[in-house]
Chains A and B, each alone.
Chain A
Amino acid sequence: MNPIINEIPVSYILGLAGILFSIGVLGVLIRRNIVIIFMSVELILNSVNLVFVTFSKALSHISGETVVFFVMAIAAAEAAVGLALVIAIFRHKKSTNVDELQSMRW
């Protein structure tokens, strides 16, 4: 394990995770391209993963890292299904702009 990482304070890493999380949320809220939104969601998930790992290390407890594996697996599954849907929608609408996908409201 690289000793430099041990010297970084926990609060720095949490700050980074917060910044990543906020960027992800903002991306989900303001971007219109569905692929970008997907990437922002991945960013959110990864920021959470980072928090888990950090605490796992700081507390010398394995459970945080275990959860990270679950999150990764679910993220992969979600990406697979989500991208398939995106492709299907794109074939149908010829567009990836979410504002144009509003035909299912009341």
Chain B
Amino acid sequence: MLEIFPLVVFFPLVGFLFNALLKGRIPHRMAGAIGTLAVFIPFLITLGAFNEFRPMERTAPHLVPVFDWIVIGNFKSSFGFQIDQLSLYMTLIITGIGSLIHLYSMGYMKSNLSYNRFFAYLNLFIFCMLNLVLSDNLILTFLGWEGVGLSSYLLIGFDYDKNSAAEAGMKAFVLNRIGDVGFILGTGFLFWFGGSLQYLELQSNLSGLTQFAPYANIVALFFFIAAMGKSAQIPLYVWLPDAMAGPTPVSALIHAATMVTAGIFLIARLNFVFLLAPETSFFIACIGATTALFAATIGTLQNDIKKILAYSTVSQLGFMFLAMGSMSYVAGLFHLMTHAFFKALLFLGAGSVIHALHHEQNIKHMGGLFGKIKITSFTFLLGTFAIAGFFPFSGFFSKDLILEKTYTFGAYGSILWTMGIVAAFFTSFYMFRLVFVVFFGKNNTDPHHKIHESPWTMTFPLVVLAFGAVVVGFLQTPHFFLHIDTLERYFAPIFSKGYELASQHGSLAEHKSLVHDVELSLAAFSVAIGTVGLILAYFLYQRRQNPVLEEHTGFRKILFHKYYVDEIYDAVLVRPFLFVSKGIAFFFDTKILDRFFLNIGLSFGIIANGLRRLQSGFIGDYALYVVIGTFCILVYLLTRGV
């Protein structure tokens, strides 16, 4: 399977081209089936390759060069794939969850007129995402990085006749471009220092380079800026909640499970840079903790079911960056996977609710759905328990690993840990608020609509994802419970070189060792916090039947309006920028540039008008011109002296 591995990338491309070129000429069913197969077959190939690669034994990556792409002087960029533990892990998540979401989309988008276009975009996205994670060099990763940004833009603005969707797409695109500047700068710096863009060569070149270490912080910071944009961290997170304007499967696939985790992947891939950059890592941890807390508080008072989940995604990504920043990369990648399962499940569940209620997204108009749509409600509940970190669901293990690693990280670990645990409390609260209001509380649904469970294409992925959300946590468990460390051993070959290098330079993060009792009490505390969140939500929204308000007072008003961040950005950045742009457009463009070029055109007109008078129509005039011309030639020849 390793020989035919490039097919993994090839199939989604074919699926995209097929659906895009034959958009109007093939029936919906066929487009959907081809789109889904184009992701499912790569999943099978990846599974085969996974077995063949034997990731628990091999330490060196398997390189698959496809062809040379750009060769200029000593700069060389090839189109090649690097198959190792990290890329296989990501590929399994992308194709596995991706094919489930494709299957789900076949049911969810059934009545949509642009069905085929949707599947074309989805396959394009999968193609780009696979390039991003499988590439063996930074240039190809950047190609995938931009490609997923493009697909995300296309899919957010999928309903392009709706103004809000088109604007949300644009917002996502522009904010991501800001981050991408960091990627390009970082790539340039790495090429300057390392003399190559291939990860393996970079790793070996940089390890022999003593003068790189002081600059590692800067390079790492550039790449983190890129990750900020793609993974929606403060201050570039504002596009992700707006991205919910896209169809729900897109929110599940791109804006929860895959693309937004590209930042985490990038840090893991470039671990040999980030491990040399302790200051930047600490900064990442701070940003991650702040984002986790900040977005979680906003999530508590939102009314749009998808917006709540979107803020939850921002918050969970903050958790992942908290792990990456405290240099416990395994914890971050572990949470990446568990989050992919339960957040995709929650989004698809929300989509199923929206589908059942005929495109109602406001939780104010929901309620009492439990039992009416059995599979959806039950799987949604499982997902909620997972994200809230209840034992023994997957979210518990991954989030606890992060919190534990944060607690032991450096001098300020306990502060970061406190922020994380408060964020975890809010997570539990807003998720159970959502559950109680939507599934248990008073029935506020429109009585004219008949509530119906979704077709099997939608419920089957829910069941599979729910199963995953419950069990995948057992890949890595703490000391007091089974003590499994599969994931840590699995990822060891990826990070060992980086850790070695970092310990040589003395930049390796200090993780205090933890007594097993403390570990147990930390875990118990976070479960207790989650339970408090559950009870509070139960008390407020189930017992007292607090209504879901459209407007709040006091501090809750600030929360409800998302800390007015969008308004602040608008006033501080967007408006001045537009003002300056319009000034430039008016003064420089019309007054100087336009005038200059228009006048060039005008002057030719004037010259032509003058020359026109020579053409009088009188033969005598023409004869005179001939004579004058001859005379001039003669004079010229005589003065030059033949």
Contacts and interface: CB of A to CB of B under 8 A. Distances in A.
Interface residues of B, number: 10
A104 B616 CA distance: 9
A29 interface: yes
Contact of A106 (B612, B623, B624): B612
B612 A28 contact: no
B621 to A, nearest CB: 9
B615 A98 contact: no
Interface in A79-106: 98-99, 101-106
Contacts of B623: 28-29
A104 B615 CA distance: 10
A72 B624 CA distance: 25
B617 interface: yes
A76 B26 CA distance: 78
B447 interface: no
B619 A105 contact: no
Nearest to A30: B620
A102 B627 contact: no
Interface string B610-631: 0010011111100110010000
Interface in B313-327: none
B624 A102 contact: no
A99 B618 contact: yes
Contacts of A104: 617
A25 B627 contact: yes
A103 B620 contact: no
Contacts of B624: 29
Given A25-B627, A29-B624, A29-B627, A98 B612 contact: no
A105 B620 contact: no
Which of B616, B619, B624, B627 is most buried by chain A, counting CB atoms within 10 A of its CB? B619
A37 interface: yes
Nearest to B627: A25
A105 B617 CA distance: 5
Interface in B595-642: 612, 615-620, 623-624, 627
A88 B603 CA distance: 43
Contact of A103 (B612, B615, B617, B627): B617
Nearest to B620: A29
Q: How large, as a class, is the contact surface on chain A?
A: 10 to 19
B620 A98 contact: yes
Contacts of A28: 620, 623
Contact of B619 (A25, A98, A103, A106): A98
A99 B618 CA distance: 6
Nearest to B613: A106
B607 to A, nearest CB: 15
Given A25-B627, A29-B627, A102 B620 contact: no
Contacts of B612: 106
Contacts of A98: 618-620
A57 to B, nearest CB: 24
A103 B615 CA distance: 11
B121 to A, nearest CB: 57
Contacts of A105: 615-617
A42 to B, nearest CB: 15
Interface string B222-250: 00000000000000000000000000000
B473 to A, nearest CB: 88
Contacts of A30: 620
Contacts of A32: 620
Contacts of A37: 619
Contacts of A29: 620, 623-624, 627
A43 B616 CA distance: 26
Nearest to A105: B617
A101 B616 CA distance: 11
A49 B627 CA distance: 19
Nearest to A34: B619
Nearest to B612: A106
Interface in A30-61: 30, 32, 37
A72 to B, nearest CB: 22
Contacts of B619: 37, 98, 101
Interface in B190-212: none
Given A25-B627, A29-B623, A102 B618 contact: yes
A29 B626 CA distance: 10
A69 to B, nearest CB: 25
A106 B618 contact: no
Nearest to B626: A28
B442 to A, nearest CB: 87
Which of B616, B618, B624 is most buried by chain A, counting CB atoms within 10 A of its CB? B618
A29 B630 CA distance: 14
B593 to A, nearest CB: 34
Contacts of B616: 102, 105
B619 to A, nearest CB: 5
Interface in A1-44: 25, 28-30, 32, 37
Contacts of B618: 98-99, 102
A85 B624 CA distance: 22
Nearest to A102: B617
A28 B630 CA distance: 15
A99 to B, nearest CB: 6
B164 to A, nearest CB: 58
A104 B612 CA distance: 14
Which of A29, A37, A99, A104 is most buried by chain B, counting CB atoms within 10 A of its CB? A29
B622 to A, nearest CB: 10
Nearest to A32: B620
Contacts of A25: 627
Nearest to A104: B617
Nearest to A26: B627
A37 B618 CA distance: 13
Contacts of B627: 25, 29
A37 B619 CA distance: 10
Nearest to A28: B623
Q: Which 9 A-B pairs have the closest CB atoms?
A: A105-B617, A102-B617, A98-B619, A28-B623, A106-B615, A105-B615, A29-B623, A102-B618, A29-B624
27 contacts: A25-B627, A28-B620, A28-B623, A29-B620, A29-B623, A29-B624, A29-B627, A30-B620, A32-B620, A37-B619, A98-B618, A98-B619, A98-B620, A99-B618, A99-B620, A101-B617, A101-B619, A102-B616, A102-B617, A102-B618, A103-B617, A104-B617, A105-B615, A105-B616, A105-B617, A106-B612, A106-B615
Given A28-B620, A29-B624, A102-B617, 7 more contacts: A29-B627, A30-B620, A98-B618, A98-B619, A105-B616, A105-B617, A106-B612
